[in-house]
Chain A
Amino acid sequence: MTTLAFFNLPDVGEGLTEAEIVSWKVKPGDTVAVNQVIVEIETAKSLVELPCPFAGVVSELLAKEGDTVEVGNSIISVTVADAASSVVTSSMPAVAEQAASAHQAVADAAASVSVEEKSPNLVGYGVSNSVGATRRQRHGAHNTATSSSPVAVDHAAVMATASTISVAPLAAGGAAAIAALGAMSASDGVIAKPPVRKLAKDLNVDLTKVTGTGAGGEITREDVVGGAQQASVFRNLTTPAPKSEREERIPVKGVRKAIANAMVSSAFTAPHVSIFVDVDATRTMEYVKRLKASTDFAGVKVTPLLIMAKAMIWAVRRNPMVNSTFTEEEIIVHNFVNFGIAAATPRGLIVPNIKDADKMSMLELAMAIEQLAGTAREGKTTPADMKDGTITITNIGVFGVDTGTPILNPGEVAIVALGSIRPKPWVVNNEIQVRQVTTIGATFDHRVVDGDVASRFVQDVASVIEEPALLLD
């Protein structure tokens, strides 16, 4: 008499929601022992080997190498002799019952990422309204298979104390500290003072590639600046060699699939119209410089994006239609601004937004932008952060391009692209002068925003960039 036992992917690192299957160490038909390593997985934190909780014969691998699996989904089934372990046997009915329902789903979409199932159109670019469903689901999953499903989820509250053992040092300490190690400690074999290291980081200079001219090979400020100049000329010189195979096939899934769906739905639902304007941003750059130096903004990151955000919020007040949502029945004009900022993250493009950004002072907005960017970079943006946006900016200038035609974030009717700001010839009083020039591009949903409103809005934004003092209005 045998029973089929399922091993559900555990949360191996305090609060992880998924892991990637890196390599299987067993295949169907193999005999496995308790605690034999069966699979290597990669989580956001580390590579981890999972030991098998059962002894028996592998029946099926329920996820493929390279798949990303949600915590709680079965990854392997093992045929277990009933007498082998009283524990496994006693828990079998529950496990089997849960497995019966879970198995089909898992087998069908072997380790489908949550994104694909919840909402086809929005994750990764805006968000669906399925935030609340998570707990209920997990709750159920946990209880139908008490003895074999991970404990961490439901015990979050109880575990709070235990988690603090290392969550505080680890969550902050894990990834961040390790990243910091590379940047700040001497473990990179580089001698440089912290301010020099910071400068190198700001200028994107790899210290290990800079030759130090200071005492004992110490890298000086000048070395870094020199390195940066060289790097600015010779950047992206390493071009990968052409691959030998003629084609490469990348499965469309996860965040990429969500982005694709959102883009298509946006582009083919809302008639897009784009307009552009060149603008002299010299005063904005001076304003940014002054804010950076002011004591009130000490320790806060100030960038042209901040002034741009303020300019857009100001222009929204003068042209409320650009801050609305179109439904077939009505146009909902929002009298608040949830300010979305498109962010490129390792997981793909996401658009978190700052709630009620119009109620914020310059300082509050600066801090909110910094926090939003930090959260996005760490991959910690929550679905709630991405919900209910009303207007969006995409800062493509950071990639060195002049402008582009952005695609609307679904549910919104306006999006602005901020191009790079750089010295260019500009006519002032009939003379050519070198000014800091940028291009503002914007796309609107033409069902809602007419050409005149769109033009006025963009012109308003541009006028603030040209003369930030208008914000005093």
Chain B
Amino acid sequence: MVQLLSPAGDYAVPKEWATYGKYIDRLSEADFLKFYRDMARMRRFDKEAEALQRQGQLGLWIPAIGQEAAQIGSGYGVGHNDHIFPSYREHGVAITHGIDLMSILKMLRGVNHGGWNPEETRFHLYAIVLGSQVLHATGYAMGVKMDGMVGNGDLENDLAVISYFGDGATAEGDISESFLFAAINHSPIVFFCQNNQWAISSSVASQTKVPLYQRGSGFGVPGIRIDGNDILASYAVTAKHMDDAREGSGPFMIEALTYRIGAHTTSDDPTKYRDSEEVEYWKARDPLARFETFLRRQGIKQDFFDEVAEAGEKLSTEIREATFALKNPPIENMFKYVYSDKHPRIDEQLDWLRKYEASFGEDAHS
């Protein structure tokens, strides 16, 4: 398992991981601070969103607390041309690629389906159907290769694809199919599996007999396991293998071993299927605390951490106010993006819905 920052906060690069160490050498202090700031931002956002769901403002919330290092680190390891295909828990990766956090909340409130343009952000829409995004990513990577946008040594135009999924998704046929297609076509793709150890109530032990990072090897997709709570390993390993993919070395799998501290979603009650001792064990391996120890040893002062805490409060208030202020979308939106051109059946359905809503009189939905 690749680990560059120990749970105690000690930084060391063993000889066999020297290639990864070089990626850390390139980072400046500003990069480190950015990593920490975004991890804290992700956690604060998560907590506020959960509260908003409990207050009836969101239909659902999908917590990612505990997975900050896996997401922020790997998110920054993705290059500026690369495309990202997330599942539904990648709030941290979204942060690293400039997604407006309100877009995520809008989706979970049912205001829209995400609403950002994946062609602009290169961060594709959240995939709700488990594992489906990995097929999309694989297809996209095949297309990238057909377009000749890989292996040219041209960092301005070459690109690779990364797809995020969880341990539970690996038990879906979609993932195996993706491995096969990616390997056969030698596609520029990194499969990034956040093994948070619980697929809702199914433990990872009930999902696989071999470590997940070995899952692709029979298909011809080599893999490696990293400490998913070590942001430096997460960044360096992702950056290195995205570079490799861009240079034409084919698909690769990264398994980030981490832990879902919270519930699967706000509809889930994890106390029904796992021990509090296990949760406590992982809370003690908190990715933020680990990186904070590292930063303090690097000479980062309390001022910085105070500033981050303050920014967190500000973010909370902003998110809160913006959520309370969200308006229901016009019903036309449901029909607008089905076909690119006008379609008589769609018009008919819209017309029907308008009449139906109007039948509620003053109560009609606006």
Contact = CB atoms under 8 A, between A and B. Distances in A.
Contact of B267 (A50, A86, A157, A166): A166
A139 B360 contact: yes
A177 B59 CA distance: 22
Interface size class of A (residues with CB under 8 A): 35 or more
B58 interface: yes
A170 B200 contact: yes
Contact of A147 (B60, B108, B264, B325): B325
Nearest to A91: B324
B14 interface: no
Interface string A281-297: 00000000000000000
A154 B365 contact: yes
Contacts of B320: 34, 87
B107 interface: yes
Contacts of A46: 268-269, 271-272
B363 A136 contact: yes
Given A143-B363, A162-B108, A151 B60 contact: no
A185 B321 CA distance: 45
Given A159-B110, A162-B108, A173-B201, A178 B265 contact: no
Interface stretch (A8-16, A22-30, A201-209): A8-16
Nearest to A135: B360
Contacts of A157: 334
Interface in A178-218: 178, 181, 185, 187
Nearest to B266: A12
B297 interface: no
A47 interface: yes
Given A12-B54, A87-B320, A139 B265 contact: no
Given A45-B267, A140-B363, A10 B128 contact: no
A165 B265 contact: yes
A112 to B, nearest CB: 20
Contacts of B328: 146, 154-155
B51 interface: yes
A14 B363 contact: no
A168 to B, nearest CB: 9
A169 B200 contact: yes
B56 A151 contact: yes
B201 A177 contact: yes
A77 interface: no
Contact of A149 (B51, B56, B264): B56
A158 B333 CA distance: 10
A208 B324 CA distance: 50
A165 B107 CA distance: 12
A261 interface: no
A34 B325 CA distance: 16
Contacts of A164: 128-129
B55 A181 contact: no
B133 to A, nearest CB: 13
A49 interface: yes
Contacts of B48: 35
B267 A10 contact: no
Given A87-B325, A147-B324, 12 more contacts: A11-B56, A14-B267, A35-B48, A150-B56, A152-B59, A157-B334, A159-B110, A164-B129, A165-B88, A165-B265, A166-B60, A173-B200
